[in-house]
Structure 1
Amino acid sequence: MFGDKPGGEPRPPAHDDRTLRRALPVWVDLAKVYPLAERPDRMHRVGWDLQAVVPGELSAWRRDTTGRWLAQVHFRIRRGDDSEGVLMTAWLLASAIEPRHDAPARPERRKRLR
């Protein structure tokens, strides 16, 4: 999916929306999602670490009204002391994610027939 178009963006289908059959493992660069204008003088150990690179799962692509690709990604944000985390699902700009090659794609879920 990332190799279809430069910059990690998928080739657009006719309707420009694409839900993946399997979630793909990705890296989420939170510093690109939550950029800082300047580095703070001190860090808060128990604050949320929004500058880390974290693993996630890409489940869909959509375009916004300006034509940019958005990735629906499930990922976890942790505190600076790594004591807690919260699972998030968000639409992120394609530039904030990269494919992970250290993890397999999640197997496709099959519907049960009754």
Structure 2
Amino acid sequence: MIIQQKQEEDIFVCIEQWCREYQNKVIKNSKQLPLIDLSVGNPDLPPNEIWKKKLCSAIQQQDMHGYADFTPEINQKLRASFSDYFNRRFISDDRYTIEAEKHVIDFAGSKEGIFLVYFAYFRQVIRF
């Protein structure tokens, strides 16, 4: 089965449709592997009181409303910070490092990132 996304359709509507179709295929064919649900879950613990107080204090500030500035310089600094952290935390051999300009991509959200990488790799075609 091949499914292609139409240019004008919302990607998340398409994903929901593909998941339903695939799950129906799983029900009919027990050899098909079930999907792993990576959708947003519900937190099981309430936030810490310290963080609730900090949040309340922050949203009372008049300059905290609106969209944040996001310039190429901020983007580069963000990616450099991610690569620095990753190299410091996970890589012990200097021969293998993560470079911000080559290996780090930032997205608006994790679901967006997963599916944009997926569609880039598979050229917007899904095969079951």
TM-score normalised according to structure 1 size: 0.23
Greater share of helix: 2
Q: If you compute each CA radius of gyration, which structure gives the higher value, 1 or 2? A: 2
TM-score normalised according to structure 2 size: 0.21
Greater share of strand: 1
Higher relative contact order (CA closer than 8 Å, sequence separation 6+): 2
